[in-house]
Chains A and B, each alone.
Chain A
Amino acid sequence: MILPLDIILLIFLVIAAVLALKLRDLLSATMVFSIYGFLICLIWAEMGAVDVAFTEATVGAGISGALMIATIFKTARKSSD
């Protein structure tokens, strides 16, 4: 555990979360959501939870994004809010 790194990553995490919810273009929102997943994966690694980090890297930054993009391609790309 490295406290300064922890704090910086967490602040980035909040920014990424806000952006992912704020963006109206769903494709960009999904991209930012993948960034969010990758950031949180870094946070797990930094906190010593390597197995969780590994899973989050494959799932949060990988599969979830792919599934969401697949859905967005098959539905609508614009969001009203």
Chain B
Amino acid sequence: MMEWMKTTIVPHFNFWIYVVIMMLGLWAAIGKNNLIKKLIGLSIFQTAILLLYVSMGVKEGASIPIVDETMGEAAVDFMAQGGGGAGATAFPINPDLFANPLPHVLMLTAIVVGVATLGVALALCQVIFRDFGTLEEPEILNQIKTIQDDV
């Protein structure tokens, strides 16, 4: 058991947790009755995906993806001396020292999309509450059945 956990779970711990959180969120988004609960579930579902992406970009022993200026200037000098070709000295920026920036960029976009969706969804909740006086899905669906033919 311990051995299995060491070899299977721990190296992929983030990914296991991502699946667990995703399942929780998805379950709430589909299965809960209260609309606000659905939205909490939906948000949790979306953050689970963020966890997947950001976990991909992690490198052991790496720092945050900000290349400090001295290192950057060194790289500029290196290129100015025609560095790319012969390569007597190594290129000053070692990509292994920085976390992968691309997933971060993608997830910034995804967070923004998430909050935009949440805003629209909450507005819909309020309109639904104004029309039906409740936020419980079964009650709303019942009320809809009674107004079936007034359109």
For residue A20, give the distance in angstroms from its CB to the closest CB of chain B. Answer: 6
Across the interface, which residues of A come within 8 angstroms of B135, CB to CB? 75-76, 79
Judge whether B47 and A40 touch: CB under 8 Å: yes
Across the interface, which residues of B come within 8 angstroms of A35, CB to CB? none
Measured CB to CB, the nearest residue on chain B to A67 is: B122
**Bound-complex Cα distance A47 to B76 (A):** 28
Q: Per-residue 0/1 for B9-31: is the Cβ within 8 Å of any A Cβ (1 yes, 0 no)?
A: 01001100100110011001000
For residue A26, give the distance in angstroms from its CB to the closest CB of chain B. Answer: 5
Judge whether B33 and A80 touch: CB under 8 Å: yes
Interface of B is mostly: helix
Across the interface, which residues of B come within 8 angstroms of A50, CB to CB? 64-66
B residues 96-112 in Cβ contact with A at 8 Å: 99, 103-104, 107-108, 111-112
Chain B: interface size category = 35 or more
Judge whether A52 and B107 touch: CB under 8 Å: yes
Query: Does chain A have a CB within 8 A of B51?
Result: yes
Judge whether A21 and B54 touch: CB under 8 Å: no
Judge whether B50 and A81 touch: CB under 8 Å: no
Given known contacts A17-B25, A48-B58, A80-B34, what 9 new A-B pairs fall within 8 Å (CB)? A1-B58, A10-B13, A47-B54, A47-B57, A48-B99, A49-B54, A49-B64, A51-B104, A81-B33
**22 residue pairs A–B, Cβ–Cβ below 8 Å:** A7-B13, A10-B14, A21-B41, A21-B44, A47-B54, A47-B55, A47-B58, A47-B99, A50-B64, A50-B66, A52-B54, A52-B108, A55-B108, A56-B50, A60-B47, A68-B122, A71-B122, A75-B135, A79-B33, A80-B33, A81-B33, A81-B37
Interface residues of A, Cβ cutoff 8 Å to B: 1, 3, 6-7, 10-11, 13-14, 17-18, 20-21, 26, 29-30, 33, 36-37, 40, 43-44, 47-52, 55-56, 59-60, 63-64, 67-68, 70-72, 74-76, 79-81
